[in-house]
Structure 1
Amino acid sequence: MKPSLCAVAASLYLTEYTLYSNSSSTVLLNSAISESFDIPFAQAAYVGVAFLAGFCLALLPAGMTVHRYPAMRAFQVSSMALVVLGIAASLSPQFWVLIVIRFLQGVASAALAPQIFRIIRQQFYPDHHSAVLGTWGLVVSASALASPLITAALNDAWGWRSFPYETVATTIAAVALMALASTGRSAPEEQPAPNRSPGPAAVIVGLGVAQVGIFLVTSLADTAVTRIALCTTAIAVGATVIVICRRTSDGTRPVLYQSFLIVFVAGMATNVFTLSVMYFLQQVRSFDSYRSALVLLPMAFFAGLLPVLPWGRPGNSHENTRLVSYGAILLIVTAASLTVPATVPGDGVVPLLVSAALMGGAMGLLWSPLAANVLTNSAQIPFDSSVYHYLRALGAAIGVSIGATVVGETADGTDLFSTVAALIALAGIVAFVAAQAARRAASSQLAPVG
């Protein structure tokens, strides 16, 4: 690969790291933020939800307008907005100010995220997509490895206000690399978005707005029953978006829409897992942020290893759906393993390391193949790849909300993990059924005609 293309890839990888860190690593700061602003742990968790709410709100409108602006220009403008907002987040004088800025960071990230797949399509030939996305899976896992450790180290050394400067630095580096890269391949003109009735598009965007309202009400709800009902409503919103997008598409694309469903439920499962583990270690076992982050190392290791192995690298739709089926099975196995940590003598770290390794295996078999399915099939559907990012973020936000509800209602690790295990098992079952349906559809596409 030419050095210029390597610079483009490195810039996109840094961008993915920034998006991951902003959306996921703040879970490690909940205890510090709750102490800083004298608020409950569960309320501090909505620092992450605020980002995801803004992200989800703006993603679908961004998908509607994605073809109107050059990908490189949209990349640069939204990246610089993230730099400014990152600095502002570190200076937040009150909790509500931090929530507003995190929400705006989510909006800016929504303009940035769809550019990743657009730039890959423009700058890399189709036969390079497998290698780019295989490494992309490694980057996602490296983010899961490095970002929590860096976040925890910054928090323990200088407090939570130092955290935003990590993503400020990576964003500036990404912009610089993209600006310096002079690719040898001229980017083709993007095809216009498919014709669509304004009615369904407006409904989908309206659902995104309603989802933000749901999370705002969830953060203010007084009872667990109310919060669970609101989270269930948010799940219904995500499912409705998938159904409407499928009906307004110019083709059936069953592999794509089953992939959307799996992205959605897997996002819930992984974030419920992460939040519950962090709560157990920090609040029940009194670990500091850095030591808690070390428990997630096996998850990051296996999530990064599998996509770069020959048999774990994404390929065609049939290969991808096979890998996703295995990832769904590992979600179910992870759920079973979570029944152990709170019942064994000691601090429960060893069983949690095993659970983290299993979850990492599931992630490694899910994210890159699912991204490859979306990259291949989403260019000519309503909202392009924005639906992928929307559903992944919405699933993450729901997972955080459910996790915050669970930790607020459980007195010890036994009740916590039994509840979380049931939720992850349910997500794994749904993902497996969807993966099997996608695999049958992919097999029928490969079957000879005549």
Structure 2
Amino acid sequence: MKPSLYAVAASLYLTEYTLYSNSSSTVLLNSAISESFDIPFAQAAYVGVAFLAGFCVALLPAGMTVHRYPAMRAFHVSSTVLVALGIAPSLSPQFWVLIVIRFLQGVASAALAPQIFRIIRQQFYPDHHSAVLGTWGLVVSASALASPLITAALNDAWGWRSFPYETVATTAAAVALMALASTGRSAPDEQPSPNRSRSTAAVIVVLGVAQVAIFLVTSVAATTAARIVLCTMAIAVGITVIGLCRRASDGTRPILYQSFLIVFVAGMATNIFTLSVMYFLQQVRSFDSYRSALVLVPMAFFAGLLPVLPWGRPGNSRKNTRVVSYGAILLIVTAVSLTVPAAMPGDGVVALLGSAALMGGAMGLLWSPLAANVLTHSAHVPFDSSVYHYLRALGAAIGVSIGATVVGETADGTVLFDTVAVLILSAGIVASVAAQAARRAAASQLATVG
């Protein structure tokens, strides 16, 4: 590849890191934020949910309008806005102000996220996609490893108000690198799907507003039963979006829609796992945030290692769906392993390290192949790759909400992990069934071509 394309890849990787850090790493700050504003731990968890809510509400409208603007211009404008909003959380005088700013950060990120796959399609030849997305898994892994450690170190050294400056720096660097890459290959912008309609747009707006309303009500719901019902409603929103995209598409594309479903449930499982582990270590075992983050190192290591190995790297649809099915099985194994930590003598860290390694393996076999399936099949689907980012973020928000509900009702580690194990097991079963359906579709597609 040309040197300019390496700059493009580095810029997109930094952007993915920024999105990951903004959406996931704040879980490490929940204890510090709850103490700072004198609020419960479960309420502080909605600092992460606020970002994801803004991200979700704006993603699908952004996906519908994404083809009206050049990808590079949209990238630079949304990144610049994100830098400006990045400093504001550290200045928040009250908790509700922090929530509003995080929501706005999510909206700005929603305009940025769809540009990633657009730029990959425009700047890289198809035979480069496997290498770009194979490294993508390594970047997600590095994000899962480095971002929590950096966030925890900043929190322990200077308090939670220092955390935004990490993503301000990475976003500014991504903008600079993309500016250097102006001489790279640029294919014509994709044409929008002919099936977009005003009625579809209206439904999308309604779903986005409903989703935000659900999370706002969930944050103040007084009973566990109410929160469970609201989380179930949020899950129904995600499934409705998948169905809506299938109906509005110019083809069936079963591999794409099964991939969307797996992204959705895997996002829930990952965030339920992470929040529950952080709660157990920080609130039950009294670990500081940096020591807690170290427990996630095996998760990050295996999530990054597997996609760069020859047999784990994304390829054609048949290979991708096979690898995804293995990842779904590892989700089930992770769920079973979570019945061990609280029952073991000591602080349970050894068992949690094993569970984190299994979850990392599952993510390593899921994220890159799923991203490759979306990149390959979504160009002419309404909302393009925005649906991928939407479902991943919505699943993450639901996972955080469910995790917050679980930890709010359980003070004992045994009960906590037994409950979390059931939830992740359910996600793993759904992902496994969807992965098998995708494998059959891939085999049928190959037979038809042959």
TM-score grouping bracket, smaller chain normalisation:
over 0.9
> Contact 2:259 / 2:373 at 8 angstroms: preserved in 1?
yes
> Contact 1:322 / 1:439 at 8 angstroms: preserved in 2?
yes
Aligned to 2:15: 15
- Partner Cα separation in structure 1 for residue 184 and residue 269 of structure 2: 41
The SS at the match of 1:438 is helix
Give TM-score scaled by structure 1 length: 0.99
Distance 1:238 1:184, change over 3 A: closer
- Partner Cα separation in structure 2 for residue 196 and residue 160 of structure 1: 43
Aligned to 2:172: 172
The SS at the match of 2:432 is helix
> Contact 1:142 / 1:300 at 8 angstroms: preserved in 2?
yes
Confirm or deny that 1:106 pairs with 2:114: no
Distance 1:390 1:346, change over 3 A: same
Aligned to 2:97: 97
Confirm or deny that 1:268 pairs with 2:268: yes
Confirm or deny that 1:257 pairs with 2:257: yes
- Partner Cα separation in structure 2 for residue 229 and residue 439 of structure 1: 33
| Aligned partner letter, 1:42 | A
Number of corresponding residues: 450
> Contact 1:194 / 1:381 at 8 angstroms: preserved in 2?
no
The SS at the match of 1:226 is helix
Shift of the alpha carbon at 1:2? 1.3
Shift of the alpha carbon at 1:402? 0.1
Shift of the alpha carbon at 1:14? 0.2
- Partner Cα separation in structure 2 for residue 399 and residue 430 of structure 1: 15
- Partner Cα separation in structure 2 for residue 204 and residue 91 of structure 1: 33
> Contact 2:268 / 2:396 at 8 angstroms: preserved in 1?
yes
Q: Which runs of 5 or more structure 2 residues have no equivalent in the other structure?
A: none
Matches within 5 A, 1:331-370: 331-370=331-370
Matches within 5 A, 1:132-147: 132-147=132-147
Aligned to 2:194: 194
The SS at the match of 2:423 is helix
Aligned to 1:81: 81
Shift of the alpha carbon at 1:195? 2.8
CA deviation map 1:211-258 (0-9, x unaligned): 000000000100011000000000011001101110110000000000
The SS at the match of 1:186 is coil
Aligned to 1:384: 384
Shift of the alpha carbon at 1:208? 1.5
> Contact 2:195 / 2:249 at 8 angstroms: preserved in 1?
no
Aligned to 1:239: 239
Shift of the alpha carbon at 1:209? 1.3
Shift of the alpha carbon at 1:448? 4.8
CA deviation map 1:311-364 (0-9, x unaligned): 000011110000010000000000000000000110000000000000000000
Q: Calculate the aligned-residue CA RMSD, in Å.
A: 0.9
> Contact 1:67 / 1:193 at 8 angstroms: preserved in 2?
no
- Partner Cα separation in structure 2 for residue 118 and residue 290 of structure 1: 36
CA deviation map 1:31-68 (0-9, x unaligned): 00000000000000000000000000000000010000
The SS at the match of 1:170 is helix
Shift of the alpha carbon at 1:146? 0.2
| Aligned partner letter, 2:199 | G
| Aligned partner letter, 1:255 | I
> Contact 1:45 / 1:404 at 8 angstroms: preserved in 2?
yes
Shift of the alpha carbon at 1:159? 0.2
CA deviation map 1:123-147 (0-9, x unaligned): 0000100000000110000000000
The SS at the match of 1:447 is helix
Answer with 390-399 or 201-210: which moved more: 201-210
Aligned to 2:305: 305
- Partner Cα separation in structure 1 for residue 395 and residue 49 of structure 2: 11
Distance 1:312 1:208, change over 3 A: same
Shift of the alpha carbon at 1:196? 2.4
> Contact 1:275 / 1:404 at 8 angstroms: preserved in 2?
yes
> Contact 2:59 / 2:387 at 8 angstroms: preserved in 1?
yes
> Contact 1:123 / 1:183 at 8 angstroms: preserved in 2?
no
Shift of the alpha carbon at 1:184? 3.8
Aligned to 1:397: 397
> Contact 2:70 / 2:189 at 8 angstroms: preserved in 1?
no
> Contact 2:61 / 2:204 at 8 angstroms: preserved in 1?
no
Give TM-score scaled by structure 2 length: 0.99
- Partner Cα separation in structure 1 for residue 184 and residue 277 of structure 2: 46
| Aligned partner letter, 1:193 | S
| Aligned partner letter, 1:365 | L
Matches within 5 A, 1:26-45: 26-45=26-45
- Partner Cα separation in structure 2 for residue 311 and residue 80 of structure 1: 38
> Contact 1:11 / 1:174 at 8 angstroms: preserved in 2?
yes
| Aligned partner letter, 1:6 | Y
Shift of the alpha carbon at 1:411? 1.9
Shift of the alpha carbon at 1:27? 0.1
Distance 1:286 1:246, change over 3 A: same
- Partner Cα separation in structure 2 for residue 13 and residue 343 of structure 1: 40
> Contact 2:306 / 2:361 at 8 angstroms: preserved in 1?
yes
The SS at the match of 2:113 is helix
Aligned to 2:6: 6
Shift of the alpha carbon at 1:201? 2.8
The SS at the match of 1:190 is coil
The SS at the match of 1:28 is helix
Aligned to 2:440: 440
Answer with 185-194 or 308-317: which moved more: 185-194
Q: Which runs of 5 or more structure 1 residues have no equivalent in the other structure?
A: none
The SS at the match of 1:161 is helix
- Partner Cα separation in structure 2 for residue 347 and residue 449 of structure 1: 55
- Partner Cα separation in structure 1 for residue 433 and residue 200 of structure 2: 27
Percent of matched pairs sharing the same residue: 89
CA deviation map 1:149-178 (0-9, x unaligned): 000000000000000000000000000000
- Partner Cα separation in structure 2 for residue 104 and residue 302 of structure 1: 33
Distance 1:370 1:199, change over 3 A: same
